[in-house]
Chains A and B, each alone.
Chain A
Amino acid sequence: MTAPATRETLPQTRSLPLPGFIDGTLLTLLAGAVILWFAPVGMGRYGTYVLSLWLVTSIAVMGLNLTLGYAGLKSLAQAAFMGLGAYLTAILTTKYGVSWYVCFALSGLLTFAVGLVLGFPALRVKAHYLAFVTLAFSTLIWLIMRNEQWLTGGVFGISNINRPDFFGIKLFNALEFHRFVVVITFILAVVLWWMIRSPWGRAFTALRENPIRAASLGVDTRLYTLLAFAIGSAYAGFAGALYAPLVEFIDPSPFSLSQSFFLLLMVVAGGSGYLLGPFIGALLGVVLPEWLRFAGSLYLIIFAAIVMLLLIACPQGMSGLMERAYAKLTGKGAGR
């Protein structure tokens, strides 16, 4: 059935004169990648490490942003998924000499599969009930990482995790590895950008806003719920696979429940449901504490106060704040 033909001309969305698939977000990602490629020059080893850590954390936050920000599913297990990816990479590369690239793919696959299974409760329980299911999973994974010493090294962790080669180029140097992280982050961000722009992204948003109406319009809410959970988890797995060679040593502490809460905070503070929100959120969560180190032992208190003030002033996070400012300046709404 179609509506009868009409001659009425509808206003079309105005955009920059660019090829159809390019938009401001993609250009921002590209510009960000170029800047970050050169940013660490002269910054020193630690500064470069912090930048890389920011990007790796951004990948995990991107995944959680898909699960929570777009699909509206509350997960408290993102750090546990990151841990799965990191431990899988660490164990396979150090004990069995498996290529990092294989481990990276396997980390994504494993966390996708586990996310798929963990997504099933999301079909029956919603909101805080779902959060508790993921909380239990997070605790379970953390206990395995801490107690199964034969596999994970327990609290002593796994050390001497090698960084990968890139077509014969050794990435042992902090700057070279950082650039490798920039490329991987850019690719994963573009994949997510494409997904969110596609009908899948619209279906994820519908899932968050009104799953009953979405189902009545033919959206397979079960499938999209599972996909949102699994893809979001896979991003954490990819982040974990990059985290292990970045730090070159892993133990259970960065993958605890409190870290999952911290990743959740980054989603919210950066702007839940905004594509660039994870980068801003991870900047607040990873880089801001570094900038506040001048305050000595007070830095965490100052950090907490800044985050609280931000969320009181703008519950939509930094991206929401920027969108509001843009709308005020131009007199129109900014796109997500």
Chain B
Amino acid sequence: MTQVLEVTNLHKAFGGIKAVNGVSFSVNEGEILGIIGPNGCGKSTLFNCILGQLEPTEGSVKLDGKEVTNKRPSELNRLGVSRTFQLLQVFPELTVRENLILAGQEHEGTMLSRFFGPRDAGLSAKADQMIAFFKLGHLVDAKAGGLSYGQQKLLDAAMAFMAGPRLVLLDEPAGGVNLTMLGDLKERLRAINAEQGATFVVIEHNMDFVMSLCSRVIVLAEGKVLAQGTPAEVRANPAVIDAYLGH
């Protein structure tokens, strides 16, 4: 099976604190990988290092076998890597449709064609399709800042898929989302994974969400990989129970 992402011996230190300490893992094409672990174990820092938001102290990140360590986030996005953040990151002054057009426009044409070409970069139809898919149709012209937390979370996720990424890293997509919307979100992630073969890496604290969505789970503790395996294997691992899941 083709490896989409390969992380090797990744380290990130903030002064004397080793937030990520020698993490290695790989993600296969079409896989949904979960990353879990207690707060402060380095999950988001790991994402930020992979995605060029932070410069790793040591180690390498490869995308489709090619070195991408320290590439800028915008470059990685144009290579087909997308993400969501732990905290909401929509553009409050833009409408729902404009948020989605923005999420895809830099993948269309050149700087000049984006200046002289259509206002929507030819993405209105695609944006509307995505809006409907994420059940935000009634909010298409509403400013994103006026949406409820759960609706913004769905919009945030929809934006990550707008440019048709091969690899999507989702940082706590279920955080603060009610049960109905959580079900919607899971259903949509599964559909995109099944129908288009998109690869996901998901950081999450909601164990039901992770265990029912992911085919493989990595557990981080104190910046290191504590365990990895299928959801069932991880649930039964005594070290994981001690460090994170509890008895």
Q: Which of B83, B93, B140, B191 is in CB contact (< 8 Å) with A4?
A: B191
Q: Which of A199, A206, A218, A222 is in CB contact (< 8 Å) with B91?
A: A206
Q: Is the CB of B119 within 8 A of A216?
A: no
Residues of chain B lying within 8 A (CB to CB) of residue A218: 74, 77-78, 106-107, 163
In the assembled complex, the Cα of A209 lies from the Cα of B90 at a distance in Å of: 9
Q: Which of A5, A11, A210, A223 is in CB contact (< 8 Å) with B89?
A: A210
Residues of chain A lying within 8 A (CB to CB) of residue B70: none
Interface centre among B90, B102, B162, B163 (most CB of A within 10 A): B102
Q: Is A215 an interface residue (CB 8 A)?
A: yes
Q: Is A200 an interface residue (CB 8 A)?
A: yes
Per-position binary interface string of chain B over residues 63-80, scored 1 when its CB falls under 8 Å from any chain A CB and 0 otherwise: 000000000111001100
Place the interface of chain A in its size category: 35 or more
Q: Quick one: which of A247-278 are within 8 Å of B by CB?
A: 273
Q: Is A195 an interface residue (CB 8 A)?
A: yes
Residues of chain A lying within 8 A (CB to CB) of residue B72: 215, 222
Q: Is the CB of B77 within 8 A of A199?
A: no
Q: Is A203 an interface residue (CB 8 A)?
A: yes
In the assembled complex, the Cα of A216 lies from the Cα of B107 at a distance in Å of: 12
Per-position binary interface string of chain A over residues 190-220, scored 1 when its CB falls under 8 Å from any chain B CB and 0 otherwise: 0000010111101101100110111111111
Total interface residues on B, CB under 8 Å, equals 55
Q: Is the CB of B111 within 8 A of A6?
A: no
Give chain A nearest CB distance to B58 CB in angstroms: 23
Q: Is B137 an interface residue (CB 8 A)?
A: yes
In the assembled complex, the Cα of A102 lies from the Cα of B63 at a distance in Å of: 50
Q: How many CB-defined contacts (below 8 Å) exist between A and B?
A: 126
Q: Is A32 an interface residue (CB 8 A)?
A: no
Residues of chain B lying within 8 A (CB to CB) of residue A10: 128, 131-132, 137, 140
Residues of chain B lying within 8 A (CB to CB) of residue A220: 74, 106
Q: Which of A198, A202, A214, A223 is in CB contact (< 8 Å) with B98?
A: A202
The answer to whether residues A217 and B132 also contact, given A1-B161, A1-B164, A1-B165 and a CB cut-off of 8 A, is: no
Q: Is B217 an interface residue (CB 8 A)?
A: no
Q: Quick one: which of B178-207 are within 8 Å of A by CB?
A: 191-192, 195-196, 198
Q: Is the CB of B91 within 8 A of A210?
A: yes
Closest CB pairs A-B (n = 6) = A3-B133, A1-B164, A218-B106, A218-B77, A213-B89, A6-B132
Binding site for B on A (CB under 8 A): 1-6, 8, 10-11, 13, 21, 195, 197-200, 202-203, 205-206, 209-210, 212-223, 273, 333
Write 11 A-B pairs (CB below 8 A) sorted by A numbering.
A2-B196, A3-B132, A13-B141, A198-B119, A202-B98, A205-B94, A215-B72, A216-B83, A217-B77, A217-B162, A218-B107
Binding site for A on B (CB under 8 A): 51, 53, 72-74, 77-78, 82-83, 85, 89-94, 98, 101-103, 105-108, 111, 114-117, 119, 121, 126, 128-134, 137-138, 140-141, 143, 159, 161-165, 191-192, 195-196, 198
